[in-house]
Amino acid sequence: MLDLVVGTITTGLLWSLLAVGVFITFRVLDVADLTVEGTFPMGAAISAILITSGMNPILSILIAGIGGMAAGAVTGWIHTKLKIPALLAGILTMIALYSINLHIMGKANVSLLRMDTIYTIIGSVLHTPNMWSAAIVGVIVAVVVCLLLFWFFGTEIGTALRATGVNPQMIRAQGVNTDNMIVLGLLISNGFVGMSGALIGQFQGFADVGMGIGTIVIGLASVIIGEVVFGTKSFVRSLIAVVLGSIVYRIVIAAVLYMGMPPNDLKLFTAILVAIALSLPTLKAKWLAR
C-alpha cells in the first residue's frame, strides 16, 4: 500500500510539469493549445534517443525542453503571423509533430530498459529504489518550476505576458507587442511539456509515438481540479494548486482503478471529470440564483 501511495504521488508530481504548461496557455494566455499532444511525446522521443546514444539522461531532459520550446514557437508563429486561429494552429503543429517524432525515433517505440535514467542516477547516489528516486526528482522539479515561474511572472516581461491574456487591447496601448508575448507564452508552455514528456518517458522506461493522446485533457483535469479544490486567490496559490491538482487527479485515477474500473474507460472517465469540473461555476451560479 505504501508503494502504491508513493507511486501515485510521484506520478502526479512528474505529470505536474505538463499541467503547469497547460496552465500557462489555458489560464495565463487564455489560449487553447493542442500542441502539447505532439510536444509531450516529442520530449520523450528526444530524451529516449539521446539516452540510447549514450548521452547523460539529465542533459537529455533539457534538450527535450528545447525541442518543446521550438514546437511552441512554431505554433505561435503560425497563429500570430499567418493569422490562423490558435486552436487550429495547435492542431496543425500537433499533426506535423507525429511525423517528426517518428523521424526522431526511427520507429514507433524506443525502449529504455536496462538503460541509465535520471532515476537510476539519483538512486545510485542516494542508494534508494527507483520509485523513491522518482519521488525525490518530482518534488525537486515541482518546487523549482513553481519558484521559477513565480519569479518570472513578477518581472516586467512576465507581467506583460499575463496582461496579454487578460486584456490585450490595454497592454497594446502600453506599447507591448502582444504577438511576441503569445509566442513567448507558447514557447515556455511547450518547453515544460517537452521536459515532462522526457521525465515520464524515463519513468515508464519507453517512448512511444502515441503516448501524447489525451495529454491535453489530463493537463486540463489537473488545472481545473486544483482550482476547484485549492482555490485561486493569488498567482502563487494558482501555481501550487496546479501541482496539487495533478496529484489529486492521479489519486482519483488510482482509486477508480482500485475499485475495478476497466483501464480502457480511463479516457472516458477523465473527459467526464473535466466536463463536470468546468461546469461547476455555472452550476453553482444557477444554484445560488435559485
Handedness of CA 198, 202, 208, 214 (dihedral sign): negative
Q: Rg of the Cα trace of the chain? A: 19
Cell representation of residue 227: 482550482
Q: Does residue 1 register a pLDDT over 70?
A: no
Per-residue pLDDT tens digits for 74-121: 999 999 999 999 999 999 999 999 999 999 999 999 999 888 999 999
Per-residue pLDDT tens digits for 13-30: 999 999 999 999 989 998
Residue 129: partners with Cβ closer than 8 Å, 6 or more residues away: 123
How large is the average pLDDT for residues 121-140? Answer: 89
What percent helix, strand, coil does the chain show, rounded to 5?
A: 80, 0, 20
Question: What confidence tier does 225 reach under pLDDT thresholds 50, 70, 90?
Answer: confident
For 262, phi then psi, to 5°, come to -65, 135
Closest by alpha carbon to 67, among 189, 190, 168, 201? 190
Question: What confidence tier does 264 reach under pLDDT thresholds 50, 70, 90?
Answer: confident
* Per-residue pLDDT at 111: 92
Per-residue pLDDT tens digits for 171-212: 999 888 999 999 999 999 999 999 999 999 999 999 999 998
d(CA 92, CA 103): 17
* Per-residue pLDDT at 277: 76
* Per-residue pLDDT at 69: 96
Q: In terms of pLDDT, which residue wins out, 170 or 130?
A: 170
* Per-residue pLDDT at 263: 82
Residue 278: partners with Cβ closer than 8 Å, 6 or more residues away: 220, 224
* Per-residue pLDDT at 74: 96
Q: In terms of pLDDT, which residue wins out, 88 or 278?
A: 88
* Per-residue pLDDT at 126: 86
What predicted TM-score, i.e. pTM, was given to this entire model? 0.92
Per-residue pLDDT tens digits for 40-56: 999 999 999 999 999 99
* Per-residue pLDDT at 130: 82
Percent of the chain with pLDDT over 70: 99
d(CA 281, CA 160): 28
Question: What confidence tier does 128 reach under pLDDT thresholds 50, 70, 90?
Answer: confident
